Structures are given as C-alpha cells and as structure tokens.
C-alpha cells in the first residue's frame, strides 16, 4: 500500500494550509459566518476589555471556535467521502463534530460573561 503522506516542506505545507482555508471559506457557511463575526468580536475585545490576560483568553477561545469548526468540516468531508448513504455512524460522527463546535461557542460565551460581569 502506497503512503499518501507527502514529505514535510514548510512552504508546501503553508500552501496546503492556505488552500484549506480558502476552500473552507468558499464552501463552509458556518466557518464563513464565524470568520465574519471576527470583524466585530476582535475589535470589541480590544475596545471593551482592559486586561491583557482577559483579552488573550477571549482571543484564544474565539480562535478555538474557528479551529473546531475547521476540524468539524474535515470530519464531515471524510464521512461524505466514505459514504453517501445515511448511516447511523456517519450521522453520529457529524453530530459529535457539531457538538464540539457548540461547546467551543458556549465556552467563549461563558468567558465573555465572566469577564464582563467581573
């Protein structure tokens, strides 16, 4: 069996990452929406939050949403590649990925609430 893994090359891997980002932006509406919210979220973090530590927490949890969304999209693509049938395991994989995205959004929201209340 032939290995499908390319050799590591910094510039080539960066190109793959950019291609992945552009593909996700073009094809994944949830990722696009979350990325577009950054136009409001990131300036709000720096305008309304004074503590550098709190700013870092909010930035990290916001980027966590984007990261989890990308991983969820990757899982969905692999599931779609493997089967077009409606299968309980395929549904479960997609639902679990969606749950991970939801938990990352809840985490970010809780961080905002705690920081703003205090």
Residue numbers annotated as active site? 69
Distance CA 17, CA 29 (A): 18
Distance CA 79, CA 93 (A): 8
Distance CA 44, CA 46 (A): 5
Distance CA 34, CA 48 (A): 20
Distance CA 19, CA 55 (A): 29
């Amino acid at each position: 069996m032939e290995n499908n893994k390319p050799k590591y090359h910094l510039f080539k891997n960066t190109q793959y990452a950019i291609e992945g980002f552009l593909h996700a932006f073009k094809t994944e509406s949830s990722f696009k929406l979350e990325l577009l919210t950054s136009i409001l979220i990131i300036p709000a973090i720096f305008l309304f939050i004074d503590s550098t530590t709190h700013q870092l927490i909010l930035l990290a949890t916001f980027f966590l949403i984007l990261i989890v969304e990308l991983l969820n999209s990757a899982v969905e693509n692999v599931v779609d590649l493997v089967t077009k049938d409606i299968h309980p395991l395929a549904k479960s994989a997609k639902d679990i990925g969606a749950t991970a995205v939801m938990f990352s959004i809840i985490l970010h929201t809780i961080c905002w609430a705690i920081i703003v209340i205090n």
